Amino acid sequence: MTDPERTIAAQATAAGQGAIAVIRMSGPGCMDILKQCTPAAFTERLRPRRATLVRIRDAEGAAIDQALVTWFPAPASYTGEDTAEISCHGGMLVTGRLLKRLYQCGASPAEPGEFTKRAFLNGRMDLTQAEAVMDVISAGSDLALKAAQTQLDGGVGAQVDALKDSLVHVLAHIEAYIDFPDEDISPDTASDLLARLRSMEEKLSALLRTAEGGRLLREGIRTAIAGPPNVGKSSLLNTLLGYDRAIVSNIAGTTRDTVEESVQLAGLALRLIDTAGIRESSDVIEQAGITRTNRALEAADLVLEVADASMPRVKD
């Protein structure tokens, strides 16, 4: 459970070494923690949504790093709580020491996704927007990013809210007639309510049908490249990728395991899967590869069947 009285801190940028890193802190104790690890009177200079340069110090007063602190007082912040973002140098040692210092001063390590969870609990975004945050971060194609941004802007949530309001309105009519049975419901009113319910059902069904498309945009289209040995499956993979990813040989059975890579095509992410050639084989290792091919075909959203045009087509 999220404790609203707990002040949390974590690195908001990716772990590793870089020029700049951002450490985010959120909760009611932000200002007190900053007072403990910055020079006296620094917090008095902070202005909402403006970056202020400061040296952050350890318990003995020695400088850990020179950083920019941006202050976001509640409720006008990402989480809806008092929030501070510290832009420091991106070395792993620097960020580690800064976080350790914040924890010494009273902050707690944030759980995965806790900043966005607090934003949801504090009404800064609805559930569909909270889910869209990770979709924006992990988008692997232009269309996936566009869809995630639309959801983050509240497009899906607005449709759900409109349907909910319509259902509540219809429910109010029905409850009114239940509470006052002496008031007969007219045929026109009943027909109107049924028509509205059918309309809402159609809209809800249409919204649910977008789920599969959203999954394909989010995860990428699993595309299995399949066919007999030596028909150019690995060559096709390399051509689509633009570099030699898979070994190409005129020896049948060269590909034993599946080889996966992603490519963006027409704004869509394709998760290309090069598979072992399908044929009868007494080779135990090749048989294992063919088994994996069959699994890839079963799980694929799209299958690219490759055939040798100079050979007669084998009928299923």
pLDDT digit string, tens, across residues 150-195: 888 888 888 888 888 888 888 888 787 777 766 666 656 778 888 8
> What is the pLDDT at residue 10?
96
Question: Which of 201, 218, 235 is the last residue before a domain boundary?
Answer: 218
What is the extent of the structural domain holding 174?
128-218
| Structural domain count, the chain | 3
CA angle 311–312–313, rounded 5-degree value: 115
Q: What is the CATH number of the domain that holds 254?
A: 3.40.50.300
- Both 279 and 255 in one domain: the answer is yes
pLDDT digit string, tens, across residues 66-91: 999 999 999 999 999 999 999 999 99
> What is the pLDDT at residue 74?
95
Where do runs of H (alpha helix) occur along the chain?
A: 30-37, 42-45, 92-104, 114-121, 127-138, 142-152, 155-179, 187-219, 233-241, 284-299
The answer to whether position 179 is within a domain reads yes
Mean of the per-residue pLDDT values for the chain?
85
- Both 79 and 12 in one domain: the answer is yes
- Both 62 and 103 in one domain: the answer is yes
Residue 7 has pLDDT above 80, yes or no: yes
pLDDT digit string, tens, across residues 18-43: 999 999 999 999 999 999 999 988 99
pTM value surpassing 0.75: no
Question: Which of 104, 123, 142 is the last residue before a domain boundary?
Answer: 123
- Both 240 and 212 in one domain: the answer is no
- Both 137 and 104 in one domain: the answer is no
- Both 191 and 247 in one domain: the answer is no
- Both 93 and 186 in one domain: the answer is no
Residue 279 has pLDDT above 70, yes or no: yes
